Each structure stands twice: as structure tokens, then as C-alpha cells.
Amino acid sequence: MLLRAHADMYAIRRFEEHIMRLFLRGEIAGTTHLCNGQEAVCVGLGYALDEDDVVAGTYRGHGHILARGSEELRLAAELLGRVDGLCGGRAGSLNVFDPTRNYIGSFAIIGGSIGAATGAALALKGTGRVAVADFGDGTTNQGYFFECLNFAKVYDLPLVFSLENNGYMEYTPIGNVTARPDDLAGRAEAFGIETERVDGMDVRAVYEASLRAVERARAGEGPQFLEYRTYRFVGHSRSDPGDYRPEGELERWQERDPLTLSRRALTDELGTPDEDIAAREQEVDERLERAIDAALASPFPTPEELEVLS
Amino acid sequence: MLLRAHADMYAIRRFEEHIMRLFLRGEIAGTTHLCNGQEAVCVGLGYALDEDDVVAGTYRGHGHILARGSEELRLAAELLGRVDGLCGGRAGSLNVFDPTRNYIGSFAIIGGSIGAATGAALALKGTGRVAVADFGDGTTNQGYFFECLNFAKVYDLPLVFSLENNGYMEYTPIGNVTARPDDLAGRAEAFGIETERVDGMDVRAVYEASLRAVERARAGEGPQFLEYRTYRFVGHSRSDPGDYRPEGELERWQERDPLTLSRRALTDELGTPDEDIAAREQEVDERLERAIDAALASPFPTPEELEVLS
Amino acid sequence: MIEFRHAIIEALADELAADPSVFLLGEDVAAAGGVFKTTEGLLERFGPDRVIDTPISELAMTGAAFGSALMGRRPVLEIMFGDFMALSMDSLINQSAKWRFLSNDQVTVPLTVRTAVGAGGRFGAIHSQNPGTWLHNVAGISIVAPSTPGDAYGLLRSAVQADHPVLFLEHKRLFSMKGELDRGLVELGTAAVVREGADLTMVSMMKGVHDALQAADVLAAEGTDVEVIDLRSLRPLDLETVVRSVEKTGRIVCVEEGPVTGGWAAGLVGQLAAQALDLLEDATIVSAPDLPVPFSPTLEDAWLPGVERIVAHVRARLAGV
Amino acid sequence: MIEFRHAIIEALADELAADPSVFLLGEDVAAAGGVFKTTEGLLERFGPDRVIDTPISELAMTGAAFGSALMGRRPVLEIMFGDFMALSMDSLINQSAKWRFLSNDQVTVPLTVRTAVGAGGRFGAIHSQNPGTWLHNVAGISIVAPSTPGDAYGLLRSAVQADHPVLFLEHKRLFSMKGELDRGLVELGTAAVVREGADLTMVSMMKGVHDALQAADVLAAEGTDVEVIDLRSLRPLDLETVVRSVEKTGRIVCVEEGPVTGGWAAGLVGQLAAQALDLLEDATIVSAPDLPVPFSPTLEDAWLPGVERIVAHVRARLAGV
Ligand SMILES: Cc1ncc(C[n+]2csc(CCOP(=O)(O)OP(=O)(O)O)c2C)c(N)n1
Ligand SMILES: Cc1ncc(C[n+]2csc(CCOP(=O)(O)OP(=O)(O)O)c2C)c(N)n1
Ligand SMILES: [Mg+2]
Ligand SMILES: [Mg+2]
């Protein structure tokens, strides 16, 4: 499984590198938020979920969407604003989602994912299905977050709060504007919600903790809270060079790049031959090449669509 | 001081009884929310504050306004919608306030008082003045509450969170819709805010705890949180008979009526003669009689006012 | 004859009975039956999974209602007073109203939001507003506002059955009003001519419709034959019905319980002018002053457009003043 | 010549320097200088007590800004994108807009809220809205929206100096636009005739003003002399300036970046009709379709009113189509 996880994380990384390139070439307009560095959360959490579990994510959602199994071609096409996009080009990177994979939204409003997942969990209660609310550290200062912690606990909803703590809002370090920033999970504990802090760079740790939480929620034990400690290796969005980082911080975290960790574990612990890893990576590279090309070949929607609708 | 406190609590109780009578007589229209049972919080907290400290309260605000020293005549006139009202009749019971006494609002939106007091505290930081946010238990499930806990702690604001936990929202027991209802103060602790739980029926306990909190805030130790355990002896608002209460609950709490407790302490502990207490109470009765009569004699505002303004 | 509030209970009960995916949520709606008693008895009939008391958490409630709608449920959310809608708007505007469009029509959001609105009850500035206009410019939702028990029933059932978000406004001064209930559905987005007349078209909503009808009676006695239209829907606007009426009368007076700037009345007249300027001999608006709703009875009565002001306005207008 | 975003920085800097009660707060406004770089350098000049980075807490920020204003401070709150205003509205509507009135004029609320609005930047449905109309019906606030660096400066300073709440809208597609800066103040609530013409009055705001001016150039070449009015203020509406123009032209076309229903354009035409119907030979609106803002460039361009659609509309209208 680790080899597959490695390949899936690798695919997310490469996919977003393609996206960045398309941006710089002017093929993609507007803005985009990459999860570069946070892939272990996407994949490890994704593996812990069943197909009919439900995920609500954020504008930083490409990785989670791919982890749900959505087609790379269609995701790329969406970011390019093409008809073959997951949302026909209407949504774009900030808002893209894939209801066919039970990924119900990339919420561009901070906290929106939590409200929606809370409602999904309300609808799923008693069905054995679970909903996941994905969000970032900055979101733990938002009203939606707290109200939904209470709401989910009151009705014992099958909801997993998935906090990706990458240490930053857009450009502001979370500690600058947050009380007790080292204990964000403590905010959930105040509601009597079970929490776990997880190494968000280690895909196996993410998977195992996520599975525990998901299974508890599935078993009717009410909402669960996971705090993944992670880091984004790139700026907040396209235009951000990330100057606000203290010197050396990025480099320290890069030593724990989820891809480095998984590659090392594959080699050192499981004795996976380098060629096997390389072969899988090459497979991904080729697949993505094809997907991006196909996405670029997809036409733009015609303006007539709007006239029909309104 | 206890005799004065007793008289002040007694005045609030009697004032609101007048108001209720005026309501039933149709002299006051709309709705009104009495703090009957919660007077010890108003008076004990009020005594702990300086004149230039600032209070933001709720629609259940008459007691706090009187505790700030606002004129009974003008408060009554406001509830009657008369020109001599604290707000010229524009605000009414739900919204009445008295900026001349640094009582900056009776917030009819749950949580509004907390936001406003947070801002007042931001403005007062470093001046030695303190702001108080008064609110109820139902408000501890509201986004404003949590966001402001964080906000106040981040900037170390001179703010006292004053939670009057009377066990009920409008008609719903707080425990029905609240995670860990017995530890609402724990929600503040998750932000590293110092908290204290206080017997809200005992005016001396309220005063002492409030003074400690206010002095800490004044000294620059950042936001403080007080949970007063209290009870309202009447319905949520005019039209509510309070049927939702379990049998015997009201009676149990009435044994701890703040007026009973203060009267007992005066007699048993301080040996205050009954006549002294009775004399003070009669003084209040007569003063209120005059105030209410004067308020009733105040004219209604003329409609022309609106034309001038718009 | 049935009270407006009972028509709402009936509509909710009939929808709850007809469709297991329908459920209600809101503050004090279950055990207490709602502060306006518009959900009384429903907890007892349908149980706590279908009628849910919530904490005071408008963000969570509205977000959760949306999320459950995405999963195929049909939530009916009560926001106690319309004034509190300001706390619900994010999820309505940025989620419910947009998701179908964003999904490329893959999902629907069958959400109904009910809320008690309007002035005249001495509730003051923060419990008397008309939040319909706050959402009037938001594509993707419907906004309806009945003036009779029959319409309340028919529109509410249509709202719950609709596959898109509907804001359903209940005027506080109508809750005790009585009227017929024939259990017919009323199509969203349709206005109704509630009094025929040849001289002048008067358009209003909710409580204002009853004021308009009274004013029409007074004016009839003076020889002015007023046609009264109950707009019933703020979004979409049923311009067609209004145009048809103005074709006959050439004159329109809108009566709005709120300030004119940014109100629905000015918008309606504007769209009418843009579509049928030639028809218009006269177009005016009776509205509230540009001020919050005051508490004091004398002031609130002066703030409200009311029968007298409407009548005086029409008289002056017809006299060419 | 100075960029629009620099005009904003200049206005803020001049107000911060002139009045110690002025302070800024918002997400990423201090250390990072704002995501649109409209507060760059201000932390360095005025220090962390005057330029405050906040958590992502729109309720708390807006409530706290209000509370500080009650204490005599002059907060300038940045809500990063106008779309997020939905989370700020409660405090604006239910507190800031009402407190002076409720207090019987004992207190004032000198609050300015700045926010980046508008479509055309490929930011999609939740980062492109025009929230001015959400608050258009709310008495007690002003809403202004400049189209040039000079007006941005002059209106922003007036907003900060005003003793009541002002919502200040900054269109994203204008931030890099250059223009003159004479450091003059601009009175709130005033429209400006930005191009004189005799045949037709065209009214727009923000980016739309530039589209209107371009359209006017095209139409001028065809012999149609268009007067362009920059409305600049949604609340209050400067009807007078519009009426004066229509007295001359008899025709009005409004260009609005948003749906027509509930928009400012229909409201403006409606108020105009109610006040000066006789002047109007023609009144129309060029607006966006009744849909959220789509992401895809082809769709977004089609959604926007734009020079071409404006020109085509006027041509058709004048041809009596
Ligand atoms: C309500 C709201 N406020 C502000 C923003 C602007 N914004 C977008 S991303 C972001 C930072 C979010 O930080 P975090 O939750 O840690 O997530 P991350 O971007 O690190 O994944 C902000 C402030 C927003 N989208 N919504
Ligand atoms: C945002 C908002 N939601 C709902 C209400 C309606 N409401 C008024 S009082 C109240 C109960 C408040 O309970 P609590 O905070 O415990 O205060 P108490 O009334 O007990 O003093 C509710 C729900 C409101 N005023 N504002
Ligand atoms: Mg983050
Ligand atoms: Mg309570």
C-alpha cells in the first residue's frame, strides 16, 4: 500500500506542478492554491475513507479531489475553464468539486466546508457513512468552526474534523493571531470531542490516525477531531513568494517532505527497489502528461450557455 | 455595603415588577425581558466597576442599566416609549442603553454585546479602563462568543466576559443543545483565558469574584471570564409562562433568591435590624412610585421627529 | 377559516408527512413549538429526528441545512426573526444560492428558510426589519412572502418542494390573521391580483397588501377604482402580472414597508420602466422614511406606510400635486 | 499619475497621520500590506497599534470595529473580498447602522469598511460579487464606490472622517489603474458627470464607468453624444445629478455589473421614474444575467456587461428595436 500511496502523493505533486506551469504560461487565469507539501494528508485521509463517505474541502482542494479518485483530466480541464471540467468550467480552482465522488465542495469561504460537512453528517447519521470537514489552522478562529464543533457534538454526528495545520493563514503566521496556537485541538476538547494530533508529513501516520477516527465516527461514537501538523512548501496562492517565512523554516520542513519520507520508508523499511519506485513515478508522469494534454484540448464553454440559463 | 446592595437589588426587582404591571395594563407594548432572579449579578458586578468602565449588555438589560446608575425615571420612560426615555423612546426595552453611564448597548442580537465590548476593550487598552461583555448561557454557542474569546486573548484586551448562566435559552434548557453544558467556562480556558465560577445568587460572592477579575483586567493581565450560576424566576419574555421547567426547579432556586440571601446575611451575619431593612425598602418603593409616575407623565414623541431626520 | 400561523403548521405537517426527506430545524422549534407557535405539535407528530431544536448558532444551522440539502434532504430552517438573517447570509449567498450553478447542474439545494419579519409590533429596530431586500440581488434563490393563510400554505409547500433555496418571509402582524385554506399549491414567483380596478395599480406585499386593500376601499368611495396586486414574490419578480395591470390603469403606486433606497418597490418600478415605459402615466412609491424602525408607538406608526398615508398619497397624486 | 491602490494607501496614510483615533484592522493588512497591497508600508509608518493584523474572524472584527467606534476611535476595517461581507453584515446592519438612531443621537459610529469587489478577474462565483446591493436598503450607512484613483483618495478620506458607517467598495479591476491625485476630498453621496453629452445619459459605477466611457467614444463616432455619470454613491443616491442630466437627454441607460433584480440600476431608474417620469423618453438597464459569476474566461466575459454589449444595446435602443 505504501508504494501506491507514494505514487498517489507523487501524482498530486506533479499534477499541481503542471497547474503552476499552466498558470505561468497564462493558460490558467485568476488564482490557485496548491497543497504542495500537504499531500500526505490528502492521500492518508483518502485511504481511510470509503467511496460513499463524504468530504467537504477548501479552495486548496486539488489534492483531496484527486485522492477521492476524480479524473485528473477533468480536474485539469476545470482549472483551465474548459467544458470537460468537473464543473464544466463554471467553478475553477477556487470552487471545483465532484459530487460523483462525494466530494461536495471546495469552499472558498473560510469555515464553509465545516458547515457543509456538519450538515452532510446530519443527513448521514445512522447510515454508517461518515462526513469529513477539511480546513486549515486559520479557520480555527472562525465562528463556523466553533458553532459546528458544538453542533456536531450535540447531535453526535458522524463527522471528522480534519485540521491541516500548516502554520499559516495567507501570509500571517497562525501564532500571531491565535490564542494557544500550539493547542488548536484543545478547542475541540472543550466540547468533549475526541482529538488526535498527527504527523501530517507521514502518510502512514495520517492513514492510521484517520482510520481510527473514521471508524469511531462510523461506529456512532460522534464527532472526531484530527490535527495534522503539516506545511506548505509554496506560497499561499499563485502570487505569493512566501517572504514572511523565517529563514530556514521551509528547508527544515522540506527535510520531512512527505514524498521523501515515503520514498525512504519504501527503500529502508520495505526494501522496495529504486526501479520499482521510479517505474511507478514514470507511469504517473506519463498519465499526467496525457491528462493535461487532453484537458488543454478541451474547448472553452460557449457564452450561449449563459443565455440559455438565465 | 450589603444593605446598599440589598436595596439596589430590591430596587431592580421592584422596578421590573412595575414594568410587568405596565405591560399587563397595556401601557408598554412589544416585549420585555426581565432579570428577575439575576439581580445579584447586576449589582455585584456593578459595584466592582468604576464609573468610566464600560458595559455592553443584552435585551435583558434593565438591571445592569440601573446598576450603572441610570435614572429609573428615564429607563421607565424609555420602556414606555416616551420622550424622556434614555433613548427618547426610539429604542425600547430590547435596545435601551445609556452612553452617559458607559452602558453602551442592550444588544438584541445574541453575541452582539460580546463583539461590541471586545471593540470597546480594544479602544480602552492601556488606559486602565475595563470593558465588560454581559451575555447568557445560550450565547456560548454563538460564533461571536468564540471569535471574541480568541480576539480578546490575542490582543490581551482589558475585557471581562460575564456569563450569566441561568440554564435556559428562551424555552430550551441549555443542556439540550450544548456540548459539556456544565463546563461553559472550559470553552474560555481553551483559549488560555482565566476563569472563575461564581454563585450568581450571592451578591457578595459576585462582587468579590467580579472585583478580582476586573482588577486583573485593569492591571493588564488580559481578558477574564466569569461564569455566574443563576436563574430567572420569570418567563423568558412577557408572553412566556415558563412551562418547560421541570417541576420543583423554580422553587429550589427561589430558596436562593438573591434578596432572600442578602436579607438573611444582613440579619444573621451583620445583625441589621429588620426595621432598617424595611426602611430602605420603603425608600425604594416610594422612589420608584415617583419615578414610574413621572415616566407615565412624559409625553410620547411626536411623529414629526421622523420627518426631520429623514 | 384558519389562522396564518396554523396554515404554516399545516403546510409543514403536510410536507413532513408527504416526504421523509423533509425535516425542520431552528431555535425553540421543537419542544416549544416555535416562538411564534408556527411549529406547534410537529415534534409530537414527527419526532425529534424530523423536528430539531438547535443551539443559537445561525452560522452552523444555515451551513448544516445547506450540507444536508446536498445529501438529498429537504431542510426547512427557521431563523426566528428576520433580523437574524444577517448571520445566516453567508451560507445562503455563498453556498446555497451558488452550488447548483457551480456544480454544472449536478446537485440541487432544496432548502427552505422561514423567518418572521416586519414592523408594527413594537419590537424595535432589531426585531422588525424586512431582510428580503438584503438578498434581493442574489441569483439562485427565490424569495416569497405571503399575505394570507391560503397563500402561506400554498407557497410554503411549493418552497419545500422546490429544488432550489427559497427564502420564505412571514410577517409578524399576519400570524393571527384568519383566512380560507383550500390546500392548493401556489407557484413560486407569481404575483396575484387581489382586487380588480381600472384607475390605478397598487402593488404591495405581506401586511402592506391589507393596507392597500383598505386604502382601495376608501378610495373607491371617492370614485377611484384601485387594482391591488399582491406581489408575493420578490425574486423572481412577476413583472408580467404588473405590466398587464398597468396596461389597463397606466398608473402604479408601490407600498413598501421599508426605506425607498434599495427597496423592492423602486426596483420594481425601475424594471417596469425599462420594459414598458410607454404604459406609464404615473409611478410612485409609498415607503418608510430612511431610518431604522423606532420603538415608540407614535414613532413606529409614523414610520410605517399605513392606510392613511397611502390614501393621502393617492389623492395628492391624482390631484396632480 | 498614481495607481488606484496607491491612492488608497495615500488616503489611509493621510488619515492615520491626521487623526490619532484612526486605526486599521483586517486580515493580512499589517505585516503583509494587504492581499491587494492597499495597506503596504502603513505598519512600518504607524506601528502595530494603528495597523492591526486580525485572525480570520469577520464577526469579531466587525463587532470590535463597531465597539471601538463607540469609544471614539475611527476604525477602518478591511474585509478582504466583498464576498466575505456576508459574515460582517450582522454587526453592520444590526449595530453600526442603528446605534446613532437608537441612542437618540447621543453616540456616533465613525466606522469605515473597505472591501474588494467585482468580477472580471477570473476569481469565480465566491470572490467576484458586488455586495453593495446587499446593504442598499439599510438606513444609517453610506455606500461609496470610486472609479478613479482621485475619487478613491477623496472618498476614502471623507469616509474615514464621517461620523457614520461607510462601506467603501474597491473594484479589483481598478487597483492597477492610473490617474491623477490632487488630494482633494470628495463629498459622500455625490455622483459626478464624467463626460458631457446631449443625447443619452449613461450611469455606471467602478469598472463600469470605464466601460461606459469607452462605449461613449464608440457611439460618439456614430453620432450619438453620450453623457456619462459616475454614480459613485449607492447610498444615498444622488438623484439630483441624474435628473439634471436626464432633463437634457431624456434617455437613461444604466450599466450594472450584476443581476438586474434587486440591483442598484433598477432602483435608480425606479426612483427616477417616481420623481421625474415626464422627463423620460427611454430608460433601460444593461446588466449581467441572473446567474452567479462563472469562472471560465469565456463565460465570465459573457456574464459581464462590457463595452460591446453596451454599445450594441444603445444602438438597438436608438433604432427603436
Ligand atoms: C471568510 C473568509 N475570510 C477570509 C478569507 C481569505 N482567505 C483565504 S485563504 C485564507 C487563509 C486560510 O488559512 P488556513 O485556514 O490556515 O488555510 P490554508 O490556506 O493554510 O490551507 C484567508 C484568510 C476567506 N476565503 N474567507
Ligand atoms: C442571533 C440571535 N439568535 C436568536 C435570538 C433570539 N433569542 C433571544 S434571547 C434568546 C435566548 C438567549 O439565551 P441566553 O443567551 O442564555 O440569555 P438569557 O435570555 O437566558 O438571558 C434567543 C435565542 C437572538 N436575539 N439573536
Ligand atoms: Mg493554514
Ligand atoms: Mg440563559
Which residues of C lie closer than 8 Å to A, measured between beta carbons?
Answer: 52, 54-55, 57, 59-73, 75, 90-91, 94-95, 98-99, 101-104, 106-107
Minimal Cα distance from A149: which residue of B?
A: B179
Output the pLDDT for position D172. 98
Q: What is the pLDDT of residue B136?
A: 98
D72 plus D131 within the same structural domain? yes
User: In the prediction, which pLDDT does B309 show?
Assistant: 65
Domain of C220? 192-318
Output the average pLDDT for chain A. Answer: 96
Separation of CA B247 and ligand 2 centre (Å): 23
Nearest CB to D299 within list A141, A171, A301: A301
Q: Whose CA is nearest to atom 25 of ligand 1?
A: A109
- CA–CA distance from A61 to each of A75, A99, A105, A231, D269 (Å)? 11, 14, 9, 15, 43
User: Would residue C159 count as lying in a domain?
Assistant: yes
**Nearest atom in ligand 1 to A170's CA:** 11
- D110: domain CATH number? 3.40.50.970
With CB atoms and an 8 Å threshold, state whether B147 touches D107. no
Distance from CA of A194 to the nearest CA of B (A): 13
Q: Minimal Cα–Cα distance from B86 to chain D, Å?
A: 8
Q: Which residues of B are less than 8 Å from A179 in CB distance?
A: 149-150, 153-154, 191-193
Instruction: Give the mean model confidence (pLDDT) for residues C156-160.
Output: 98
Is the pLDDT confidence value at C40 over 80?
yes
Chains with 3 or more CB pairs closer than 8 angstroms to D? A, B, C
User: Does residue D205 fall inside a structural domain?
Assistant: yes
Whether D105 maps to a domain, the answer reads yes
Q: What pLDDT is stored for residue B89 in this prediction?
A: 98
H helices, E strands: number in chain D = 11, 14
Cβ–Cβ gap B178/A146 under 8 Å: no
Predicted local distance difference test score (pLDDT) of residue A242: 85
Specify whether C200 is located in the same domain as C291. Answer: yes
D184, part of any domain: no
pLDDT in tens, A21-39: 999 999 999 999 999 999 9
Q: Is C84 in the pocket of ligand 2 (CB under 6 A)?
A: yes
pLDDT digits (tens, 9 = 90+) for B270-285: 999 999 999 999 999 9
Supply the Cα-derived Rg of chain B in whole angstroms. 19
Cβ of residue B162 lying under 6 Å from some atom of ligand 2: no
Q: What distance in Å separates the CA atoms of residue C40 and residue C6, rounded to the nearest whole number? A: 9
Give me ligand 4 centre to Cα C30, in Å.
18
Any ligand 2 atom below 6 A from CB of B170: yes
D12 Cβ contact list (under 8 Å, min separation 6): D24, D38, D39, D42, D76, D156, D160
Give the start-to-end residue ranges of the domains of chain B: 2-23+30-69+90-179+187-285
Q: pLDDT digit string (tens) for A71-88?
A: 999 999 999 999 999 999
Which chain B residues have a beta carbon less than 8 Å from that of A122? none
Instruction: Give the closest residue to B60 by CA, choosing from B37, B44, B90, B88.
Output: B37
Residue B171 Cβ contacting ligand 2 at under 6 Å: no
The question of whether D210 is a catalytic residue gets the answer no
Chain D contact set for C277 (CB, 8 A) = 273, 280-283
Residue-level pLDDT at B305: 80
Domain boundary among C112, C146, C179: C179
Looking at residue A21, what is its pLDDT?
96
Does residue C35 belong to any structural domain of this protein? yes
Number of domains in chain D: 2
* pLDDT score at D179: 97
Give yes or no: residues C157 and C223 share one domain: no
- Pick among 3.30.365.10, 3.40.50.970, 3.40.50.360, 3.40.50.300: CATH of B2-23+30-69+90-179+187-285: 3.40.50.970
Q: Is the pLDDT of residue A245 over 70?
A: yes
* Per-residue pLDDT tens digits of chain D, which is 321 residues long: 999 999 999 999 999 999 999 999 999 999 999 999 999 999 999 999 999 999 999 999 999 999 999 999 999 999 999 999 999 999 999 999 999 999 999 999 999 999 999 999 999 999 999 999 999 999 999 999 999 999 999 999 999 999 999 999 999 999 999 999 999 999 999 999 999 999 999 999 999 999 999 999 999 999 999 999 999 999 999 999 999 999 999 999 999 999 999 999 999 999 999 999 999 999 999 999 999 999 999 999 999 999 999 999 999 999 986
Is the Cβ–Cβ distance between D316 and D146 less than 8 Å? Answer: no
**pLDDT the model gives residue C74:** 98
Taking the centre of ligand 2 as the mean of its atom positions, its distance from the CA of residue B219, in whole angstroms, is 32
Mutate to test the interface with D, among C123, C261, C291, C300 (most CBs of D within 10 A): C261
A-D Cβ pairs (cutoff 8 Å, strict): 120
Q: How do residues C185-216 score in pLDDT, each as one tens digit?
A: 999 999 999 999 999 999 999 999 999 999 99
Report how far residue C298's alpha carbon sits from residue C310's, in angstroms, rounded to the nearest whole number. Answer: 18
- Helices and strands (H and E) in chain C: how many: 11, 14
Q: Are D134 and D170 in contact (CB under 8 A)?
A: no
Mean pLDDT of the region C295-299: 97
Do D70 and D101 lie in one domain? The reply is: yes
pLDDT of residue A307: 74
Domain co-membership, D162 together with D70: yes
Give the pLDDT confidence score for residue B175 in this predicted structure.
Answer: 97
Residues D163 and D79 in one domain: yes
Whether ligand 1 lies within 6 angstroms of the CB of A166 is answered as yes
CB contact under 8 A, B177 and C303: no
Identify the pLDDT of residue D298: 97
Residue B31 alpha carbon to ligand 4 centre in Å: 17
Nearest CA in chain A to B144: A143
Check pocket membership of A169 for ligand 1, CB cut-off 6 A.
yes
Tell me the C-alpha distance between B291 and B70, whole Å.
12
Nearest-atom index, ligand 2, CA of C127: 25
- Say how far apart CA C233 and CA C145 lie, in whole Å: 6
Percent of chain B predicted with pLDDT > 70: 99
Q: Do C56 and B110 touch (CB under 8 A)?
A: yes
Q: How is residue A116 written as a grid cell?
A: 457543509
The pLDDT score that the predictor gives to residue A90 is 98
D61 CB less than 6 Å from ligand 1? no
Domain identity same for D125 and D209: no
B138 lines ligand 2 (CB under 6 A): yes
Confidence of residue B173 (pLDDT cuts 50, 70, 90): very high
Does B310 have pLDDT greater than 60? no
Q: DSSP for C58-75?
A: HHHHHHHHHHHHHTT-EE
- CB contact residues (below 8 A), chain B span 162-201, against chain C: 169-172, 176-178
Q: Are D128 and D211 in contact (CB under 8 A)?
A: no
| pLDDT value of position D201 | 98
Please report residues of B whose CB lies closer than 8 A to that of A191: 179-180, 187
Answer yes or no: is the C-beta of A138 below 6 A from any ligand 1 atom.
Answer: yes
pLDDT at residue C98 greater than cutoff 70: yes
Which range among A141-145, A235-239, B47-51, D60-64 shows the weakest confidence by mean pLDDT? A235-239
Which of B107, B110, B187 should be mutated for ligand 2, with most atoms under 8 A from CB? B110
Give C78's Cβ-side CA count (13 Å radius). Answer: 26
**CA-CA-CA-CA torsion for C85, C90, C92, C93, nearest 10 degrees?**
120
Q: Which ligand is nearest to the CA of D56?
A: 1
Q: Is the CB of B225 under 6 A from ligand 2?
A: no
Rounded CA separation D202/D212 (Å): 7
**Which residue from D minimizes the CA distance to C136?**
D262
For the cut 70, the answer to whether the pLDDT of residue C33 exceeds it is: yes
CATH number, domain of D243, equals: 3.40.50.920
A67 has a pLDDT exceeding 90 = yes
Q: CB distance C133–D136 less than 8 Å?
A: yes
In a domain, C184, yes or no: no
Query: Does residue C196 sit in the same domain as residue C251?
Result: yes
The verdict on C257 and C233 lying in the same domain is: yes
Q: Is D225 helix (H, G, I), strand (E, B) or coil?
A: coil
Which of residues C114, C145, C179 is at a domain's end?
A: C179
Closest residue in chain A to residue D124, using alpha carbons only = A91
Question: What's the B171 CA to ligand 2 centre distance in angstroms?
Answer: 10
Note the pLDDT tens digit of each residue in B8-32.
999 999 999 999 999 999 999 999 9
Cβ contact, residue pair A119, C71, below 8 Å:
yes
Tell me the one-letter amino acid at C216: A
**pLDDT of A285 over the 90 cut:** yes
State how far residue A249 is from chain C, nearest Cα, in angstroms.
35
Whether D10 and D115 share a structural domain = yes
Which of the residues D296, D301, D308 would you substitute to probe the A interface, choosing the one with the greatest number of A C-beta atoms within 10 Å? D296
Q: Are residues D39 and D101 in the same domain?
A: yes
Q: Report every protein residue that has its C-beta within 5 angstroms of ion ligand 3.
A: A 136-138, 166, 168
Return the residue matching grid coordinates 485540521: A163
Mean predicted confidence (pLDDT) in B169-190: 97
Gap between the Cα atoms of A129 and A217, Å rounded: 9
Picking from A95, A112, A120, the nearest residue to C68 by CB comes out as A120
Catalytic hit among D6, D127, D164, D313:
D127
Does residue C168 sit in the same domain as residue C263?
no
pLDDT at B307 > cutoff 80:
no
Angle at D229 between CA D224 and CA D233, to 5 degrees: 160
Nearest CA to ligand 2 atom 12: B169
Return the partners of chain B (3 or more C-beta pairs < 8 Å): A, C, D
Q: Do A302 and D298 touch (CB under 8 A)?
A: yes
Spatial separation of the C-alpha atoms in residues C252 and B290, rounded to whole Å? 53
